[in-house]
Amino acid sequence: MSDTGTSDTGTSGTGTSGTVSADVAAALAEVVGRDQVLTGDQISPDYGHDEMLSAAAQQPGAVVRPASAAEVSGVLRVASAHQLAVTARGSGSGLSGAAIPEPGGLVISLERMNRVLEIDVDNHVAVVQPGVTLSELDEATSAHGLTYPVYPGELSASLGGNVATNAGGMRAVRYGVTRSQVLGLEAVLPTGEVLRTGGKLVKASTGYDLTQLIIGSEGTLAVVTEVTLRLYPRPPHQATVLAPFHTVDEVARAVPKVVHSGVAPLILEYIDGLTMGAITYAQKLDLGVPTEVREKAQAYLLVMLESGHAQRLDEDTEQLGNLLTELGAIDLYVLPGPSARRLVEAREKAFWTSKAAGANDIIDTVVPRAAIPEFLAAAQEIGQRHGAAVFGCGHAGDGNVHLAVFQPDDEVRSALLRELFEASMKLGGLISGEHGIGRAKKRYFLELTDPATIDLMRRIKRAFDPTGILNPGVLLEP
Protein backbone atom coordinates (compact mmCIF):
# COMPACT_ATOMS: atom_id res chain seq x y z
CA MET A 1 0.00 0.00 0.00
CA SER A 2 1.38 3.39 -0.91
CA ASP A 3 0.58 4.84 2.51
CA THR A 4 2.07 2.06 4.65
CA GLY A 5 5.73 2.78 3.98
CA THR A 6 6.28 -0.53 2.20
CA SER A 7 6.48 0.50 -1.45
CA ASP A 8 9.70 -1.53 -1.83
CA THR A 9 8.05 -4.77 -0.66
CA GLY A 10 9.82 -7.83 -1.98
CA THR A 11 13.37 -6.44 -2.16
CA SER A 12 14.98 -6.74 1.26
CA GLY A 13 15.17 -10.53 1.21
CA THR A 14 16.65 -10.74 -2.28
CA GLY A 15 20.13 -10.43 -3.66
CA THR A 16 21.31 -8.52 -6.70
CA SER A 17 20.65 -11.54 -8.92
CA GLY A 18 16.94 -11.59 -8.05
CA THR A 19 17.25 -14.78 -6.01
CA VAL A 20 16.54 -14.86 -2.29
CA SER A 21 19.53 -14.56 -0.01
CA ALA A 22 21.20 -17.66 1.41
CA ASP A 23 19.90 -16.79 4.89
CA VAL A 24 16.30 -16.57 3.67
CA ALA A 25 16.61 -19.81 1.69
CA ALA A 26 17.99 -21.55 4.76
CA ALA A 27 15.13 -20.25 6.93
CA LEU A 28 12.58 -21.48 4.38
CA ALA A 29 14.30 -24.88 4.21
CA GLU A 30 13.95 -25.22 7.98
CA VAL A 31 10.18 -24.94 7.52
CA VAL A 32 9.48 -27.11 4.45
CA GLY A 33 12.70 -29.09 3.93
CA ARG A 34 15.58 -28.33 1.62
CA ASP A 35 14.11 -30.26 -1.33
CA GLN A 36 10.98 -28.11 -1.27
CA VAL A 37 12.80 -24.79 -1.71
CA LEU A 38 13.68 -23.98 -5.33
CA THR A 39 16.03 -21.19 -6.30
CA GLY A 40 17.91 -20.06 -9.40
CA ASP A 41 17.93 -22.59 -12.25
CA GLN A 42 15.79 -24.98 -10.20
CA ILE A 43 12.77 -22.74 -10.79
CA SER A 44 10.68 -23.81 -13.78
CA PRO A 45 9.52 -20.95 -16.05
CA ASP A 46 5.95 -22.08 -15.31
CA TYR A 47 6.18 -20.52 -11.85
CA GLY A 48 6.65 -17.08 -13.41
CA HIS A 49 3.30 -16.68 -15.16
CA ASP A 50 -0.32 -17.70 -15.48
CA GLU A 51 -2.41 -17.64 -18.70
CA MET A 52 -2.80 -13.85 -18.95
CA LEU A 53 -2.18 -12.90 -22.59
CA SER A 54 -0.77 -9.40 -22.26
CA ALA A 55 1.95 -9.69 -19.59
CA ALA A 56 5.48 -11.05 -19.52
CA ALA A 57 6.52 -13.73 -17.05
CA GLN A 58 8.47 -12.68 -13.95
CA GLN A 59 11.22 -14.72 -12.30
CA PRO A 60 10.57 -15.24 -8.57
CA GLY A 61 13.48 -15.31 -6.17
CA ALA A 62 12.36 -18.65 -4.73
CA VAL A 63 9.57 -21.19 -4.88
CA VAL A 64 8.47 -23.11 -1.79
CA ARG A 65 6.18 -26.14 -1.83
CA PRO A 66 4.58 -26.58 1.61
CA ALA A 67 2.54 -29.66 2.54
CA SER A 68 0.40 -28.30 5.41
CA ALA A 69 -1.13 -25.20 6.92
CA ALA A 70 1.60 -25.28 9.59
CA GLU A 71 4.27 -25.10 6.89
CA VAL A 72 2.43 -22.27 5.10
CA SER A 73 2.34 -20.45 8.43
CA GLY A 74 6.09 -20.90 8.91
CA VAL A 75 6.84 -19.73 5.36
CA LEU A 76 4.75 -16.59 5.82
CA ARG A 77 6.51 -15.80 9.10
CA VAL A 78 9.85 -15.95 7.26
CA ALA A 79 8.48 -13.81 4.43
CA SER A 80 7.14 -11.23 6.87
CA ALA A 81 10.42 -11.07 8.77
CA HIS A 82 12.32 -10.39 5.54
CA GLN A 83 9.64 -8.26 3.82
CA LEU A 84 9.48 -10.67 0.91
CA ALA A 85 6.60 -10.34 -1.56
CA VAL A 86 4.49 -13.52 -1.61
CA THR A 87 2.36 -14.97 -4.42
CA ALA A 88 0.25 -18.06 -3.73
CA ARG A 89 -0.04 -20.34 -6.76
CA GLY A 90 -2.38 -23.19 -7.64
CA SER A 91 -2.49 -24.58 -11.18
CA GLY A 92 -1.58 -21.29 -12.86
CA SER A 93 -4.65 -21.42 -15.11
CA GLY A 94 -5.89 -17.91 -14.25
CA LEU A 95 -6.35 -15.31 -16.98
CA SER A 96 -5.75 -12.02 -15.18
CA GLY A 97 -2.15 -12.18 -13.99
CA ALA A 98 -2.89 -12.69 -10.28
CA ALA A 99 -0.40 -15.58 -10.19
CA ILE A 100 2.45 -13.61 -11.79
CA PRO A 101 4.98 -13.08 -8.96
CA GLU A 102 6.95 -10.00 -8.09
CA PRO A 103 10.48 -10.20 -9.54
CA GLY A 104 12.69 -11.73 -6.87
CA GLY A 105 9.69 -12.47 -4.66
CA LEU A 106 8.47 -15.72 -3.17
CA VAL A 107 6.01 -18.13 -4.78
CA ILE A 108 4.12 -20.45 -2.44
CA SER A 109 3.13 -23.31 -4.70
CA LEU A 110 0.26 -25.34 -3.27
CA GLU A 111 0.79 -28.31 -5.59
CA ARG A 112 1.64 -30.70 -2.73
CA MET A 113 -1.49 -29.74 -0.78
CA ASN A 114 -3.66 -31.79 -3.10
CA ARG A 115 -5.72 -34.13 -0.92
CA VAL A 116 -9.47 -34.58 -0.81
CA LEU A 117 -9.72 -34.75 2.97
CA GLU A 118 -13.37 -35.78 3.28
CA ILE A 119 -16.54 -36.46 1.31
CA ASP A 120 -19.34 -36.08 3.86
CA VAL A 121 -22.32 -37.73 2.18
CA ASP A 122 -24.81 -36.97 4.96
CA ASN A 123 -24.07 -33.23 4.93
CA HIS A 124 -23.35 -33.02 1.16
CA VAL A 125 -19.96 -31.48 1.86
CA ALA A 126 -16.41 -31.94 0.60
CA VAL A 127 -13.34 -30.79 2.51
CA VAL A 128 -10.32 -30.31 0.26
CA GLN A 129 -6.85 -28.83 0.24
CA PRO A 130 -6.28 -25.93 -2.18
CA GLY A 131 -4.14 -27.87 -4.65
CA VAL A 132 -6.97 -30.32 -5.49
CA THR A 133 -8.07 -29.86 -9.09
CA LEU A 134 -11.65 -29.78 -10.33
CA SER A 135 -11.01 -33.02 -12.19
CA GLU A 136 -9.77 -34.75 -9.03
CA LEU A 137 -12.73 -33.51 -7.00
CA ASP A 138 -15.18 -34.63 -9.69
CA GLU A 139 -13.71 -38.13 -9.60
CA ALA A 140 -14.00 -38.25 -5.81
CA THR A 141 -17.59 -36.98 -5.69
CA SER A 142 -18.89 -39.13 -8.56
CA ALA A 143 -18.20 -42.28 -6.56
CA HIS A 144 -20.86 -41.08 -4.09
CA GLY A 145 -23.43 -39.90 -6.65
CA LEU A 146 -22.60 -36.27 -5.82
CA THR A 147 -21.18 -33.38 -7.79
CA TYR A 148 -19.42 -30.06 -7.27
CA PRO A 149 -21.03 -27.81 -9.89
CA VAL A 150 -18.49 -25.06 -10.58
CA TYR A 151 -16.79 -25.67 -13.95
CA PRO A 152 -14.95 -22.53 -15.11
CA GLY A 153 -13.69 -24.15 -18.32
CA GLU A 154 -10.42 -25.70 -17.19
CA LEU A 155 -10.67 -28.91 -15.17
CA SER A 156 -6.98 -28.70 -14.24
CA ALA A 157 -7.78 -25.53 -12.27
CA SER A 158 -7.24 -25.85 -8.53
CA LEU A 159 -9.86 -25.20 -5.85
CA GLY A 160 -7.56 -22.67 -4.19
CA GLY A 161 -7.37 -20.70 -7.42
CA ASN A 162 -11.14 -20.94 -7.86
CA VAL A 163 -11.62 -19.49 -4.38
CA ALA A 164 -9.10 -16.71 -5.06
CA THR A 165 -10.93 -15.53 -8.18
CA ASN A 166 -14.50 -16.52 -7.27
CA ALA A 167 -14.57 -18.66 -10.42
CA GLY A 168 -17.84 -19.21 -12.24
CA GLY A 169 -18.32 -21.03 -15.51
CA MET A 170 -21.16 -22.37 -17.59
CA ARG A 171 -23.15 -23.94 -14.75
CA ALA A 172 -23.40 -20.72 -12.75
CA VAL A 173 -26.81 -19.96 -14.28
CA ARG A 174 -28.23 -22.80 -12.16
CA TYR A 175 -25.86 -23.26 -9.24
CA GLY A 176 -24.10 -19.93 -8.85
CA VAL A 177 -20.36 -19.22 -8.69
CA THR A 178 -17.69 -20.36 -6.21
CA ARG A 179 -18.96 -17.88 -3.63
CA SER A 180 -22.24 -19.80 -3.54
CA GLN A 181 -20.49 -23.13 -2.85
CA VAL A 182 -17.86 -22.35 -0.20
CA LEU A 183 -19.11 -22.99 3.32
CA GLY A 184 -15.85 -22.50 5.20
CA LEU A 185 -12.14 -21.88 4.90
CA GLU A 186 -8.86 -22.42 6.66
CA ALA A 187 -6.50 -19.62 5.74
CA VAL A 188 -3.16 -18.26 6.92
CA LEU A 189 -2.57 -14.56 7.46
CA PRO A 190 0.77 -13.01 6.46
CA THR A 191 1.70 -12.88 10.14
CA GLY A 192 1.46 -16.68 10.23
CA GLU A 193 -1.80 -16.82 12.19
CA VAL A 194 -4.12 -19.63 11.08
CA LEU A 195 -7.74 -18.57 10.66
CA ARG A 196 -10.85 -20.79 10.40
CA THR A 197 -14.11 -19.44 9.02
CA GLY A 198 -17.52 -21.05 8.58
CA GLY A 199 -17.83 -24.83 8.50
CA LYS A 200 -20.31 -27.55 7.48
CA LEU A 201 -23.14 -25.07 7.87
CA VAL A 202 -25.64 -23.93 5.27
CA LYS A 203 -26.36 -20.68 7.10
CA ALA A 204 -24.84 -18.48 9.77
CA SER A 205 -25.47 -15.08 11.32
CA THR A 206 -22.53 -14.72 13.65
CA GLY A 207 -20.29 -11.72 13.11
CA TYR A 208 -18.57 -10.62 9.91
CA ASP A 209 -18.54 -13.17 7.10
CA LEU A 210 -14.80 -13.55 6.65
CA THR A 211 -15.31 -16.53 4.33
CA GLN A 212 -16.96 -14.34 1.74
CA LEU A 213 -14.41 -11.58 2.20
CA ILE A 214 -11.49 -13.89 1.39
CA ILE A 215 -13.25 -15.42 -1.64
CA GLY A 216 -12.36 -13.36 -4.71
CA SER A 217 -9.55 -11.47 -2.96
CA GLU A 218 -6.98 -12.89 -5.41
CA GLY A 219 -4.41 -13.85 -2.80
CA THR A 220 -4.12 -10.35 -1.38
CA LEU A 221 -5.58 -11.04 2.10
CA ALA A 222 -4.59 -14.58 3.13
CA VAL A 223 -3.34 -17.91 1.78
CA VAL A 224 -6.15 -20.47 1.72
CA THR A 225 -5.08 -23.90 2.98
CA GLU A 226 -8.40 -25.77 3.21
CA VAL A 227 -11.85 -25.36 1.65
CA THR A 228 -15.22 -26.74 2.76
CA LEU A 229 -17.53 -27.04 -0.24
CA ARG A 230 -21.21 -27.62 -0.82
CA LEU A 231 -22.07 -30.70 -2.92
CA TYR A 232 -25.24 -31.67 -4.81
CA PRO A 233 -26.87 -34.89 -6.02
CA ARG A 234 -25.61 -35.82 -9.50
CA PRO A 235 -28.68 -36.00 -11.81
CA PRO A 236 -28.50 -39.04 -14.12
CA HIS A 237 -30.28 -37.55 -17.16
CA GLN A 238 -29.17 -34.69 -19.43
CA ALA A 239 -30.27 -33.24 -22.76
CA THR A 240 -28.51 -30.62 -24.88
CA VAL A 241 -30.21 -28.36 -27.42
CA LEU A 242 -28.33 -26.24 -29.97
CA ALA A 243 -30.36 -23.45 -31.58
CA PRO A 244 -28.92 -21.31 -34.40
CA PHE A 245 -30.31 -17.77 -34.78
CA HIS A 246 -30.01 -15.16 -37.51
CA THR A 247 -28.45 -12.56 -35.19
CA VAL A 248 -26.65 -12.25 -31.87
CA ASP A 249 -29.37 -9.84 -30.81
CA GLU A 250 -32.04 -12.54 -31.23
CA VAL A 251 -30.01 -14.93 -29.09
CA ALA A 252 -29.47 -12.33 -26.38
CA ARG A 253 -33.16 -11.42 -26.29
CA ALA A 254 -34.12 -15.10 -26.02
CA VAL A 255 -32.06 -15.65 -22.87
CA PRO A 256 -34.34 -13.97 -20.28
CA LYS A 257 -37.34 -15.82 -21.71
CA VAL A 258 -35.57 -19.19 -21.40
CA VAL A 259 -34.68 -18.41 -17.78
CA HIS A 260 -38.25 -17.28 -17.08
CA SER A 261 -39.73 -20.43 -18.65
CA GLY A 262 -39.01 -22.60 -15.61
CA VAL A 263 -36.94 -25.28 -17.36
CA ALA A 264 -33.99 -24.34 -15.10
CA PRO A 265 -31.12 -24.82 -17.57
CA LEU A 266 -27.85 -26.23 -16.31
CA ILE A 267 -26.01 -24.43 -19.11
CA LEU A 268 -27.23 -21.42 -21.11
CA GLU A 269 -24.51 -20.13 -23.43
CA TYR A 270 -24.40 -17.88 -26.45
CA ILE A 271 -21.73 -18.45 -29.09
CA ASP A 272 -21.32 -16.11 -32.04
CA GLY A 273 -20.94 -17.57 -35.51
CA LEU A 274 -17.22 -16.87 -35.85
CA THR A 275 -16.44 -18.46 -32.51
CA MET A 276 -18.62 -21.48 -33.26
CA GLY A 277 -16.79 -21.98 -36.54
CA ALA A 278 -13.42 -21.64 -34.82
CA ILE A 279 -14.07 -24.02 -31.94
CA THR A 280 -15.74 -26.71 -34.05
CA TYR A 281 -12.90 -26.53 -36.56
CA ALA A 282 -10.26 -26.67 -33.83
CA GLN A 283 -11.90 -29.69 -32.22
CA LYS A 284 -12.83 -31.34 -35.57
CA LEU A 285 -16.44 -31.40 -34.41
CA ASP A 286 -19.35 -32.06 -36.79
CA LEU A 287 -22.67 -31.21 -35.13
CA GLY A 288 -24.82 -32.09 -38.11
CA VAL A 289 -25.80 -28.48 -38.81
CA PRO A 290 -26.32 -28.15 -42.60
CA THR A 291 -24.21 -25.67 -44.55
CA GLU A 292 -27.22 -23.55 -45.49
CA VAL A 293 -28.11 -23.12 -41.81
CA ARG A 294 -24.53 -22.28 -40.80
CA GLU A 295 -24.44 -19.61 -43.53
CA LYS A 296 -27.57 -17.96 -42.10
CA ALA A 297 -26.63 -18.23 -38.42
CA GLN A 298 -24.71 -15.38 -36.85
CA ALA A 299 -25.10 -16.81 -33.36
CA TYR A 300 -26.09 -19.93 -31.45
CA LEU A 301 -27.76 -20.65 -28.15
CA LEU A 302 -26.50 -23.74 -26.33
CA VAL A 303 -28.83 -25.06 -23.64
CA MET A 304 -28.23 -28.09 -21.44
CA LEU A 305 -30.94 -29.45 -19.17
CA GLU A 306 -30.64 -32.04 -16.42
CA SER A 307 -33.10 -34.00 -14.33
CA GLY A 308 -33.42 -36.94 -12.00
CA HIS A 309 -36.30 -38.28 -14.12
CA ALA A 310 -36.17 -39.12 -17.83
CA GLN A 311 -39.82 -38.27 -18.49
CA ARG A 312 -39.52 -34.85 -16.85
CA LEU A 313 -36.41 -34.18 -18.94
CA ASP A 314 -38.28 -35.06 -22.14
CA GLU A 315 -41.10 -32.69 -21.20
CA ASP A 316 -38.68 -29.86 -20.42
CA THR A 317 -36.80 -30.44 -23.67
CA GLU A 318 -40.03 -30.27 -25.67
CA GLN A 319 -41.08 -27.10 -23.85
CA LEU A 320 -37.69 -25.53 -24.53
CA GLY A 321 -37.81 -26.45 -28.21
CA ASN A 322 -41.25 -24.88 -28.66
CA LEU A 323 -40.09 -21.71 -26.93
CA LEU A 324 -36.92 -21.36 -29.01
CA THR A 325 -38.90 -21.85 -32.21
CA GLU A 326 -41.30 -19.09 -31.15
CA LEU A 327 -38.30 -16.85 -30.43
CA GLY A 328 -36.98 -17.18 -33.97
CA ALA A 329 -34.52 -20.09 -33.96
CA ILE A 330 -33.64 -21.14 -37.51
CA ASP A 331 -33.69 -24.79 -36.47
CA LEU A 332 -33.20 -27.00 -33.42
CA TYR A 333 -30.71 -29.80 -32.81
CA VAL A 334 -30.98 -32.13 -29.83
CA LEU A 335 -27.41 -33.33 -29.67
CA PRO A 336 -26.54 -36.93 -28.82
CA GLY A 337 -24.52 -37.37 -25.64
CA PRO A 338 -21.03 -37.65 -27.19
CA SER A 339 -21.56 -34.65 -29.50
CA ALA A 340 -23.01 -32.61 -26.64
CA ARG A 341 -20.04 -33.36 -24.40
CA ARG A 342 -17.58 -32.49 -27.16
CA LEU A 343 -19.33 -29.20 -27.90
CA VAL A 344 -19.35 -28.23 -24.22
CA GLU A 345 -15.67 -29.12 -24.01
CA ALA A 346 -14.98 -27.09 -27.16
CA ARG A 347 -16.86 -24.12 -25.69
CA GLU A 348 -14.87 -24.47 -22.47
CA LYS A 349 -11.68 -24.33 -24.55
CA ALA A 350 -12.73 -21.18 -26.42
CA PHE A 351 -9.95 -19.26 -24.66
CA TRP A 352 -7.31 -21.60 -26.05
CA THR A 353 -8.84 -21.33 -29.51
CA SER A 354 -8.72 -17.52 -29.30
CA LYS A 355 -5.16 -17.64 -28.00
CA ALA A 356 -4.07 -19.89 -30.87
CA ALA A 357 -5.77 -17.50 -33.32
CA GLY A 358 -3.64 -14.61 -31.99
CA ALA A 359 -6.04 -12.78 -29.68
CA ASN A 360 -4.36 -9.89 -27.88
CA ASP A 361 -6.72 -9.81 -24.91
CA ILE A 362 -9.63 -11.67 -23.35
CA ILE A 363 -12.22 -9.91 -21.22
CA ASP A 364 -15.04 -11.31 -19.10
CA THR A 365 -17.19 -8.31 -18.28
CA VAL A 366 -20.60 -8.92 -16.75
CA VAL A 367 -23.89 -7.04 -17.18
CA PRO A 368 -27.49 -7.72 -16.13
CA ARG A 369 -28.59 -10.45 -18.55
CA ALA A 370 -31.37 -8.29 -19.99
CA ALA A 371 -28.67 -5.76 -20.97
CA ILE A 372 -26.64 -8.25 -23.06
CA PRO A 373 -28.10 -7.10 -26.44
CA GLU A 374 -27.26 -3.47 -25.73
CA PHE A 375 -23.76 -4.30 -24.49
CA LEU A 376 -22.93 -6.54 -27.44
CA ALA A 377 -24.09 -3.83 -29.86
CA ALA A 378 -21.89 -1.32 -28.03
CA ALA A 379 -18.94 -3.73 -28.10
CA GLN A 380 -19.16 -4.12 -31.86
CA GLU A 381 -19.33 -0.36 -32.37
CA ILE A 382 -16.38 0.25 -30.06
CA GLY A 383 -14.34 -2.47 -31.76
CA GLN A 384 -15.02 -1.12 -35.25
CA ARG A 385 -14.13 2.42 -34.18
CA HIS A 386 -10.76 1.20 -32.89
CA GLY A 387 -10.01 -0.99 -35.89
CA ALA A 388 -10.29 -4.17 -33.83
CA ALA A 389 -12.04 -7.51 -34.20
CA VAL A 390 -14.15 -8.21 -31.12
CA PHE A 391 -16.10 -11.45 -30.90
CA GLY A 392 -16.72 -14.36 -28.59
CA CYS A 393 -19.22 -16.19 -26.44
CA GLY A 394 -20.49 -16.06 -22.92
CA HIS A 395 -22.54 -17.33 -20.03
CA ALA A 396 -25.72 -15.74 -21.32
CA GLY A 397 -27.79 -16.98 -18.40
CA ASP A 398 -25.90 -14.81 -15.92
CA GLY A 399 -24.81 -11.92 -18.17
CA ASN A 400 -21.13 -12.87 -18.24
CA VAL A 401 -19.79 -11.84 -21.66
CA HIS A 402 -16.45 -13.26 -22.85
CA LEU A 403 -14.86 -11.36 -25.71
CA ALA A 404 -11.62 -11.96 -27.60
CA VAL A 405 -10.01 -8.71 -28.70
CA PHE A 406 -7.72 -8.63 -31.73
CA GLN A 407 -5.84 -5.33 -31.77
CA PRO A 408 -2.03 -5.53 -31.54
CA ASP A 409 -1.43 -1.83 -30.84
CA ASP A 410 -1.15 -1.57 -27.04
CA GLU A 411 -2.26 2.06 -26.86
CA VAL A 412 -5.27 1.58 -29.12
CA ARG A 413 -6.25 -1.63 -27.34
CA SER A 414 -6.03 0.05 -23.95
CA ALA A 415 -8.43 2.79 -25.05
CA LEU A 416 -10.75 0.15 -26.51
CA LEU A 417 -10.79 -1.91 -23.30
CA ARG A 418 -11.51 1.14 -21.18
CA GLU A 419 -14.51 1.96 -23.38
CA LEU A 420 -15.77 -1.62 -23.18
CA PHE A 421 -15.56 -1.58 -19.39
CA GLU A 422 -17.21 1.83 -19.21
CA ALA A 423 -20.03 0.56 -21.44
CA SER A 424 -20.65 -2.42 -19.17
CA MET A 425 -20.62 -0.29 -16.03
CA LYS A 426 -23.09 2.20 -17.53
CA LEU A 427 -25.47 -0.73 -17.97
CA GLY A 428 -25.12 -1.73 -14.32
CA GLY A 429 -22.29 -4.20 -14.93
CA LEU A 430 -18.77 -4.77 -13.66
CA ILE A 431 -15.35 -5.19 -15.22
CA SER A 432 -14.95 -8.90 -14.41
CA GLY A 433 -17.52 -11.62 -13.86
CA GLU A 434 -15.22 -14.52 -12.97
CA HIS A 435 -11.58 -14.11 -14.07
CA GLY A 436 -10.78 -11.41 -11.51
CA ILE A 437 -8.91 -8.14 -11.79
CA GLY A 438 -5.36 -9.36 -11.15
CA ARG A 439 -2.75 -7.31 -12.95
CA ALA A 440 -4.52 -7.34 -16.31
CA LYS A 441 -7.44 -5.08 -15.42
CA LYS A 442 -6.13 -3.30 -12.33
CA ARG A 443 -5.59 0.02 -14.12
CA TYR A 444 -9.18 0.14 -15.36
CA PHE A 445 -10.56 -1.06 -12.03
CA LEU A 446 -8.78 1.70 -10.10
CA GLU A 447 -9.74 4.39 -12.63
CA LEU A 448 -13.41 3.47 -13.01
CA THR A 449 -14.41 2.35 -9.50
CA ASP A 450 -15.82 4.74 -6.90
CA PRO A 451 -12.85 6.11 -4.88
CA ALA A 452 -14.68 5.46 -1.62
CA THR A 453 -14.90 1.78 -2.51
CA ILE A 454 -11.19 1.63 -3.36
CA ASP A 455 -10.30 3.38 -0.12
CA LEU A 456 -12.33 0.89 1.94
CA MET A 457 -10.67 -2.01 0.13
CA ARG A 458 -7.25 -0.53 0.95
CA ARG A 459 -8.18 -0.36 4.63
CA ILE A 460 -9.35 -3.97 4.60
CA LYS A 461 -6.09 -4.95 2.91
CA ARG A 462 -4.10 -3.18 5.65
CA ALA A 463 -6.08 -4.96 8.37
CA PHE A 464 -5.24 -8.39 6.93
CA ASP A 465 -1.78 -7.57 5.58
CA PRO A 466 -0.32 -4.53 7.37
CA THR A 467 3.11 -4.75 5.70
CA GLY A 468 1.67 -5.42 2.23
CA ILE A 469 3.56 -8.63 1.36
CA LEU A 470 0.65 -10.63 -0.13
CA ASN A 471 0.43 -10.27 -3.90
CA PRO A 472 1.54 -6.64 -4.11
CA GLY A 473 0.60 -5.15 -7.47
CA VAL A 474 -2.50 -7.35 -7.81
CA LEU A 475 -5.95 -5.74 -7.56
CA LEU A 476 -4.58 -2.68 -5.72
CA GLU A 477 -1.35 -0.74 -6.09
CA PRO A 478 1.40 -1.87 -3.69
Which pLDDT band holds residue 478 (cuts at 50, 70, 90)? confident
> Angle 22-32/69-81 helices, nearest 10 degrees?
160
Q: Residue 284: give the domain boundaries.
A: 237-347
Handedness of CA 11, 12, 18, 24 (dihedral sign): negative
Instruction: Determine, yes or no, domain membership for 455.
Output: no
Percent of the chain with pLDDT over 70: 96
Q: How many domains does the chain have?
A: 4
pLDDT per residue as tens digits for the range 261-281: 999 999 999 999 999 999 999
Whether 223 and 271 map to the same domain: the answer is no
Q: 241: pLDDT confidence band, cut at 50, 70 and 90?
A: very high
CA distance linking residue 228 with residue 222, whole number of Å: 16
Predicted confidence at residue 171, as pLDDT, reads 93
Both 135 and 157 in a single domain?
Answer: yes
CB 225 within 8 A of CB 130: yes
Taking the model in full, what pTM does it have?
0.92
Give helix then strand counts, H and E, for the chain.
17, 18
Helices (H), 398-450: 410-426, 442-448
Task: Tell me the pLDDT tens digit for each residue of 74-90.
Answer: 999 999 999 999 999 99
Length of the chain: 478
- In the listed set 92, 112, 132, which residue is the last one of a domain according to the structure? 112
Q: Which one of 315, 347, 379 terminates a domain?
A: 347
Q: What is the pLDDT of residue 2?
A: 34
User: Would 74 be classed as within a structural domain?
Assistant: yes
Q: Are residues 58 and 157 in the same domain?
A: no
